[in-house]
Structure 1
Amino acid sequence: MIVYRLSRARFAKDLSGRGAELAGGRWNSKGTAILYTSDSIALCTVEVAVHMPLGIVPFDYQLVQIEIPDGLEIEKLPETMLPEDWKSFPHSNATQVIGDKFIAEQHAPIIKVPSAAVQGTFNYLINPRHPDFQKVTIVGITPFEFDKRLFVK
Structure 2
Amino acid sequence: MNHTPDEERRDALLDASIEGSFPASDPPSQTQPVTATPTQPQVPLRDTGMTGDELYVYRVIEPRKASQPFSGAGADRGGRWTSPGTQGVYASLTPGAAMLEYLVHLEGDTPNELLLAQATVPVPSVLAQVDLPSDWKQRPYRDAVREIGDKWSKAQQSLALRVPSAVCEGECNVLINPEHPDFAKLRLEHLSPMKIDPRLRI
Q: Same fold (TM over 0.5)?
A: yes
Alignment partners' CA distance in 2, 1:99 and 1:12: 25
Aligned residues: 147
One of 97, 101, 112 as aligned partner of 1:47: 101
| Mapped partners of 1:18, 1:32: distance in 2 | 11
Distance change in 2, residues 1:94/1:18 (3 Å): same
SS at match of 1:22: coil
The Cα of 1:106 is off from its aligned counterpart by: 1.1
Q: Which residue of 1 aligns with 2:125?
A: 73
Output the CA distance in 2 between the equivalents of 1:34 and 1:43: 18
- List structure 1 runs of 4+ shifted beyond 4 angstroms: none
The aligned residue for residue 118 of structure 1 is 168
Q: Which runs of 5+ in 2 are unaligned?
A: 1-54
CA distance in 2, matches of 1:42, 1:122: 11
Output the CA distance in 2 between the equivalents of 1:59 and 1:33: 28
**Separation (CA, whole Å) in 1 of partners of 2:136 and 2:67:** 30
Q: 2:71 aligns with which of 13, 16, 19?
A: 16
Name the Cα RMSD after superposition.
1.5
Runs of 5+ unmatched residues, structure 1: none
Structure 2 counterpart of 1:7, from 61, 64, 68: 61
- Equivalent residue, structure 2, for 1:136: 186
Q: State the alpha-carbon separation in 1 of the partners of residues 63 and 180 from structure 2.
A: 25
Q: Deviations over 1:31-75 (max 9, x none)?
A: 11211110001101111121235x7334321100011135x3211
Map 1:73-112 to 2 at 5 A: 73-78=125-130, 81-112=131-162
1:26-65 equivalences under 5 Å are: 26-53=80-107, 56-65=109-118
Q: Encode CA deviations 1:98-151: one digit per residue, 9 max, x unaligned.
A: 101010111211101000101111111111111111010111001111111110
Q: CA separation in 2, counterparts of 1:87 and 1:58?
A: 27
* TM score, norm. by length of structure 2: 0.68
* Bigger relative CO (Cα 8 Å, ≥ 6 apart): 1
Q: For 1:23, what is the secondary structure of its paired residue?
A: coil
Identity among equivalent positions (%) equals 38
Structure-1-length-normalised TM-score: 0.89
Checking the alignment, whether the CA contact within 8 Å between 1:18 and 1:34 is kept in structure 2 is: no
Superposed displacement of residue 77, structure 1: 0.6
